[in-house]
Amino acid sequence: MLPRRDKCLSALFITGGAWLFSSMAHAAYEYNLTPPASTLTQEIFDLHMLTTIVGTIIMALVTGMIIYALINFRHAKGAIPDQEFHNGWFGRWAWVLVPVIVLSIDLTIASSASSTLNSVESHDKADVTVKVIGSQWKWTYEYMDDDIKIVSNLKKLEPTDPLYLRDVDDPLVLPTGKRVRFLLTSSDVLHNWGIAEIVPKKINIPGYINETWTHITKEGTYRGQCYENCGTGHAFMPAVVRAVSPTEYEQWKVARKAQQAQAAAEASADKVWAKAELMAKGEEVYTKNCLACHQANGQGLPGVFPALAGSKIANNTAALADHIAIVVKGKAGTAMAAWGPQLNDLDIAAVVTYERNAWGNTAGELVQPKDIKAAR
């Protein structure tokens, strides 16, 4: 019969061991890093698994030795400390062998880490170069070799939708099997763009270019976000990449260039747009670019973003020029970005018309693309 204290100690080890192995048996794989879909993230994943396995083995050995010693060399069993430990061969050589083993493990991990870091920071020639511009609260992607531009905004979904706050209206499209270079910057505050499956995150800094790259190996849709707290709309900056085959990517480029050329021709035409056309187009532009700050009802966010509904600038005929100037050039010292470089003349004319005629605003003017061209 074991003494009561021994029974309690044994029960503790048995219960703890059962809980540990039960947890390991039921652990879901998704608690690990996301499965990599590029050569670079595969290297990072392999390094993570190496350090995790080594750390787990060391933890198991040390924990096992401690438990073994607690059970077999406790005072209740009459164990007497060995006073001659350092005179035996193990006591003498342990001071050499243990540091050598630990150093060998460290060098193995350090070698793999150094190789992975070199890969992350490599600057080899790329097949595709994309400039990633962070703004409150959207991403702008510029294909540097193809004159293609994507403005990617949060897609409005119901909170019950599985992709709520995770989907965008216009994702970044990239080819598989090609080296893609990313140039990261920001137009206002710090942002941080990254997609865990395909590319490590790096900070987007205003006035500075950061660089990273990827070589995607699997087609699919990959989702990330802004990883830097960039203001009140931080949660509304998902990043989505659609990886397609090289053939499909080339087809997409042709179609996208044709779409952009058509939009540019439409914006530069001498057509005089009717109010209904401008209001419909303006609501579309407003919803995509302005709603996050100024809200769907035009009331803004008190103390942060001014209301447009009932505002002086949207209800005063004499303030039309100022209204256009703020939209085109932005406003210094505020979060109001300059939309001139991002939107064409038709888009700006439509959104200004919409803001001056929606939510009960009574200015009533119709702004035409030629008015915006003259104000630039």
Q: Model confidence over 152-172: pLDDT tens digits?
A: 988 888 899 999 999 999 999
Neighbours of 132 (CB within 10 A): 24
CA distance 210 to 182: 8
pLDDT at 29: 52
Report helix angle 4-26 to 39-72, nearest 10. Answer: 170
Under the banding of pLDDT at 50, 70 and 90, the label for residue 354 is very high
CA distance 374 to 126: 40
Q: What is the pLDDT of residues 1-17, one digit of tens each?
A: 445 444 444 444 444 44
Provide the token pair at 354.
């919409």
Q: Residue ranges of the domains in the chain?
A: 11-121, 128-260, 269-375
Provide the token pair at 127.
């097949």
Provide the token pair at 112.
């793999």
Under the banding of pLDDT at 50, 70 and 90, the label for residue 142 is very high
Q: What is the pLDDT of residues 273-304, one digit of tens each?
A: 999 999 999 999 998 888 878 888 999 888 77
The identity of residue 302, as a single letter, is: P
The pTM of the full predicted model, rounded to 2 decimals, is: 0.76
Q: What is the pLDDT of residues 302-352, one digit of tens each?
A: 877 889 999 998 888 888 999 999 999 888 777 787 888 888 899 999 999
Q: Which CATH superfamily is domain 269-375 in?
A: Cytochrome c-like domain (1.10.760.10)
Pick 128-260's CATH classification: 3.40.1280.10, 2.60.40.420, 1.10.10.10, 3.30.230.70: 2.60.40.420
Contact between 153 and 289 (Cβ < 8 Å): yes
- 84 versus 59: the higher-pLDDT residue is 59
Closest CA to 156 of 148, 144, 164, 146: 164
Strand order, beta sheet including 210-215: 148-152, 138-143, 128-135, 179-186, 210-215
